[in-house]
Amino acid sequence: MPVTVVVGGQFGSEGKGKVAHYLAKTMGASHAVRCGGSNSGHTVVDDNGKTWVFRHLPTAAIIPNVKLAICAGSYIDIEVLSKEIEAAGITPDRLIIDPEAVIITQECKDAERDSGLVQNIGSTGSGTGAAVANRVLRKSSVVFAKTHRTLLPFIGNVASELRASLNRKDRIILEGTQGFGLSPLHSGFFPKVTSRDTTAAAVVSEVGLSPLDVDDIALVIRAFPIRVAGDSGPLEYETSWSEITKIGNFSNPITEMTTVTKKIRRVGLFDANIVNQAILVNAPTKIFMNHIDYLNSDILLVRERAQKFLSVIKQKLSSRIDFIGTSPSNIETLSHFLGW
C-alpha cells in the first residue's frame, strides 16, 4: 500500500521536515501525518522563500491540496498547535486530529521541568515526556484531544480516514520526529534518550496503520550529526562549530541552535556506526543526506568535496545514499548532484 515513513537516522535535526515536504509534493500525497510531541520542530521553506517551523503540523501544511493529520500517538501543546493553525491558515476541512491524542497540560510541563531532565539529559522540558508517562501509568489526569473544546472542530478518526485514502491508492506521508539515536528501545544510549520510540515501525503504530501498508521508508541523515546542548549523551567524533567553519572555509562562523530551546547544538563528524544501526532497524528504501553544503562555502566546490566525502562514506555504510540536500530548501538525487 502507498505509505511513506520519514524517520531520522542520527540524533534528530536531520532535516526530516524538509524531506517530508519534498516527498509529499513530488509524490502527490493526499495526506501527511505528524507524530510525536511539541519537543521537536521541523523546518521547511516555501516557494516564496519564507521559513516555517512546525512543532505539531506536518510540513506539508504549506502545500494547499494536502490534507493533514495528527495521530493518536501524538502529544499536543494546545498553545503551540493553535498558533501554527492560525499562522498557516488551516481549516477543519484540511486538518484532522485523532480523539485519542493526548494534551500536554501545564502540570506535565511543570513535572518535567522539576524532574531534573533538562539538566540531566538535555531534555527540552516541553512536557511531552511527562504526558507519555501519565498515559503509560493510566493516570486519571490524562487529557485527551476529544475533550478539549478548542480542538473539537478538528476531531476525527485518523486511522479511518487514512484507510479510506489507502483504499483509493492515494499516497500518505508519515512524518516521524527526532532520530534513531534517541530511541529508548533500540539506540543503546538509555537514559540519554527521548520518551518514545523513534523508529519507522513505531511511527506506523502511533498512526494506527498496518506494517503491510508501508512500501517506502525514507531515512534522513546529516553530513555532520548533532545532539542538543548539555549532557545529552554520547556523540562520537564530537567537534566544534568553529572546526566546522574551518572545514568549509566559511568567512562567517557557522552555528546551529535547537528549534525549541534555542540552545547551541553539539556537533560531530560523520559516524557510520549509528547510521548503520538505523539502517538495520528501519530497513530504508531510500536515504537522504542533508547539510552536505557544510563541506565548502563555495557551492561549486561543494560538489567536488562531496564526491570525495561520499566515496569514503560509501565504503562504511551498508546502504547507498540516494538524495542530497544542500540548503534549507534544496534536494537533489545523488546522480544529479554529482553531475552523473
- Report the DSSP beta bridge partners of residue 264: 257
Does residue 340 surpass a pLDDT of 70? no
Please name which of 225, 228, 172, 233 lies closest in space to residue 203, comparing C-alpha atoms. 172
Grouping H, G, I as helix, E, B as strand and the rest as coil, residue 212 is helix
The sign one gets for the Cα dihedral 192, 117, 53, 5 is positive
Express each pLDDT in 5-29 by its tens digit.
Answer: 999 999 999 999 999 999 999 999 9
Does residue 125 surpass a pLDDT of 80? no
Please, which pLDDT band fits residue 123 given cuts at 50, 70 and 90?
low
Q: At what angle do helices 106-114 and 128-136 cross, to 10 degrees?
A: 100
Please name which of 278, 263, 9, 275 lies closest in space to residue 122, comparing C-alpha atoms. 263
CB-side neighbour CA atoms (13 Å) of 135: 20
Residue 329: inside a domain: yes
Express each pLDDT in 271-286 by its tens digit.
Answer: 999 999 999 999 999 9
Region 144-164: what's the mean pLDDT?
97
DSSP class per residue in 109-128: HHHHHHTTHHHHH-----SH
Question: How far apart are the C-alpha atoms of 320 and 285, rounded to whole Å?
Answer: 10
How much of the chain exceeds pLDDT 70, in percent? 96
Please, which pLDDT band fits residue 297 given cuts at 50, 70 and 90?
confident
Q: What is the pTM of this model?
A: 0.95
Residue 231: inside a domain: no
Region 311-330: what's the mean pLDDT?
92
Q: What is the mean pLDDT of the chain?
A: 93
Residue 12: inside a domain: yes
Read off φ and ψ for residue 10, nearest 5 degrees: -130, -115
Residue 264: inside a domain: no
The 10 Å Cβ neighbour count of residue 105 is 18
Range(s) of the domain holding residue 57: 3-223+274-338
Read off φ and ψ for residue 12, nearest 5 degrees: 95, 170
Express each pLDDT in 49-82 by its tens digit.
Answer: 999 999 999 999 999 999 999 999 999 999 999 9
Does residue 122 surpass a pLDDT of 90? no
SS3 for 251-292 is: CCCCCCECCCCCCECEEECCCHHHHHHHHHHHCCCEEEEECH
Does residue 177 surpass a pLDDT of 80? yes
The 10 Å Cβ neighbour count of residue 244 is 22
- Tally of domains within the chain: 1
CA distances from 67 to 35, 214, 232, 271, 329 (A): 15, 19, 35, 37, 21
Does residue 209 surpass a pLDDT of 60? yes
Please, which pLDDT band fits residue 339 given cuts at 50, 70 and 90?
confident
Does residue 87 surpass a pLDDT of 70? yes
Residue 267: inside a domain: no
Express each pLDDT in 90-119 by its tens digit.
Answer: 999 999 999 999 999 999 998 888 777 666
Residue 250: inside a domain: no
What pLDDT score does 117 carry?
Answer: 65
The three cell numbers of residue 145 are: 484531544
Residue 327 falls in which region: left (phi positive, over 0), alpha (psi -120 to 50) or beta:
beta
Please, which pLDDT band fits residue 182 given cuts at 50, 70 and 90?
very high
Does residue 133 surpass a pLDDT of 60? yes
The three cell numbers of residue 227 are: 545532539
Contact in structure between 269 and 226 (CB atoms under 8 Å): no
Contact in structure between 238 and 267 (CB atoms under 8 Å): yes
Residue 38: inside a domain: yes
Does residue 327 surpass a pLDDT of 90? no
Express each pLDDT in 232-272 by its tens digit.
Answer: 999 999 999 999 999 999 999 999 988 777 889 999 999 99
CATH of the domain at 321: 3.40.440.10
Residue 145: inside a domain: yes
